[in-house]
Amino acid sequence: MTAWARIAENLRLGQDVFRLRLEAPEIAAQARPGQFVMLKVRHGGDPLLARPFSIHGAENGELFILYRVVGRGTKILSMARPGKNLALWGPLGRGFDLGVANPVLVAGGMGMAPLPFTAEELVREGKRPAFLLGMLTTGGYVALVDALDKRLKNVGVAISWASEDGGLGRKGLVTALLAEALQNGAAHILACGPLPMLKAVAALAAEHGAPCQVSLEAPMACGIGVCLGCALPAAGEGYLRACQEGPVLDSARLDWARL
């Protein structure tokens, strides 16, 4: 469904990371972990297309989006003030399948966005997810790290951090943490992050015979399955639409060599 949602808050949580809180009760009520919305960063034709963002949280009629400023659209979004209205549609796509045993959540960089919501819903279903989070550096992101740690602590989940500069948690890649978790009994992977990380995660999953759900990005124009712009190479042949069959897909359904 479409909404014309008032910005309640657009809070900077790090040097280039913001958390947007939108009053969008109907979308928030239907949102499931791993789903996304298409958000117009401003009204009208410039920029032309809406931007896809994962649902970072949904509660009390409000929808949360966690985003990094990477280009013109997200720059414009970062300057939007509370009180302003933005157009969006959603919730879209297939989210994470939560009916899994011993889940381990693996996030890399902004791939963290959908995972706190996912962890909360898993806990609500009586699961105890492990939560692994890797970043390049955590230096400029004190508020972000703090917000995530607190939010997950509220549901009894402790984040295992990895950072490539060694600023927080394990020095190195999050996949090192994942390899250990798999050895220690984690059974089912739910991952979101940059493509190289997801490739490594999918390879680890295959090695351990662990089922693995990955959330992928693709350029999107419509978000609702009609433009066919968001094609992801499918295992075997052909393509899957990131916005319909995805964005969360069983890693075995993808042709990683063509990705």
Partner 1 sequence: MSAPSLETKVGGLTLQNPVIAASGTFGYGLEYRPYLDLNRLGGLVTKGISLEPRQGNPPPRIWETASGMLNAIGLANVGLERFIAEKLPALAELDCAVIVNLYGEAVDEFAALARALDGRRGVAALELNVSCPNVKSGGMAFGVDPQAVAAVTRAVKAETGLPVWVKLTPNVTSPVAVAQAAVQAGADAISLINTLLGMAIDARGRRPRLANVVGGLSGPAIKPVGLRMVWQVAQALPGVPVVGMGGIASGEDAAEYLIAGASAVQVGTGNFQDPASCRRIAEELAQFCVENQVARVSDLIGSLRPPA
Ligand X SMILES: Cc1cc2nc3c(=O)[nH]c(=O)nc-3n(C[C@H](O)[C@H](O)[C@H](O)COP(=O)(O)OP(=O)(O)OC[C@H]3O[C@@H](n4cnc5c(N)ncnc54)[C@H](O)[C@@H]3O)c2cc1C
Q: Which of residues 71 and 140 has its CB atom nearest to ligand X in the complex?
A: 71
> Distance between CA atoms of 97 and 147, rounded to whole angstroms?
25
Q: Which of residues 145 and 242 has its CB atom nearest to ligand FES in the complex?
A: 242
CA 49 to chain centre: 20
- Which two structure tokens, joined as six digits, stand for 65? 């989006």
> Distance between CA atoms of 134 and 253, rounded to whole angstroms?
25
Which residues contact ligand FES (rule: CB under 6 A)?
Answer: 220-223, 225-230, 241-243
Q: Residue type at 190?
A: L
Q: Are 113 and 67 in contact (CB under 8 A)?
A: yes
225 binding partner 1? (CB under 8 A): yes
Q: Are 197 and 134 in contact (CB under 8 A)?
A: yes
Tell me the closest approach of the beta carbon of residue 227 to partner 1, in angstroms: 6
Q: Are 115 and 55 in contact (CB under 8 A)?
A: no
For the beta carbon of residue 9, count every other beta carbon within 10 angstroms: 12
Q: According to CB under 8 A, which one of 7, 179, 221, 235 is a site residue for partner 1?
A: 221
Q: According to CB under 6 A, which one of 7, 80, 218, 224 is a site residue for ligand X?
A: 218
CA 120 to chain centre: 14
Tell me the closest approach of the beta carbon of residue 58 to ligand X, in angstroms: 13
Of 187, 184, 190, residue with least CA distance to 251: 190
Q: Which of residues 8 and 218 has its CB atom nearest to ligand X in the complex?
A: 218
Which range in 21-29, 166-174, 184-192, 227-235 contacts partner 1 by CB under 8 A?
227-235
Q: Which of residues 203 and 227 has its CB atom nearest to ligand FES in the complex?
A: 227
What residue spans of 142-194 are helical by DSSP H?
142-153, 174-183
Q: According to CB under 8 A, which one of 8, 23, 47, 253 is a site residue for partner 1?
A: 47
Residues 9-38 that bind ligand X (CB under 6 A): 36
Q: Which of residues 41 and 105 has its CB atom nearest to partner 1 in the complex?
A: 41
Q: Terminus-to-terminus CA distance in the chain, angstroms? A: 31
Q: Are 130 and 115 in contact (CB under 8 A)?
A: no
Residues 80-109 that bind partner 1 (CB under 8 A): 87, 89
Q: How many residues bind partner 1 (CB under 8 A)?
A: 30
Q: Which of residues 152 and 181 has its CB atom nearest to ligand X in the complex?
A: 152
217 binding ligand X? (CB under 6 A): yes
Could you list the residues that contact ligand X (CB under 6 A)? 36, 49, 51-54, 66-68, 70-74, 110, 113, 217-220, 242, 247
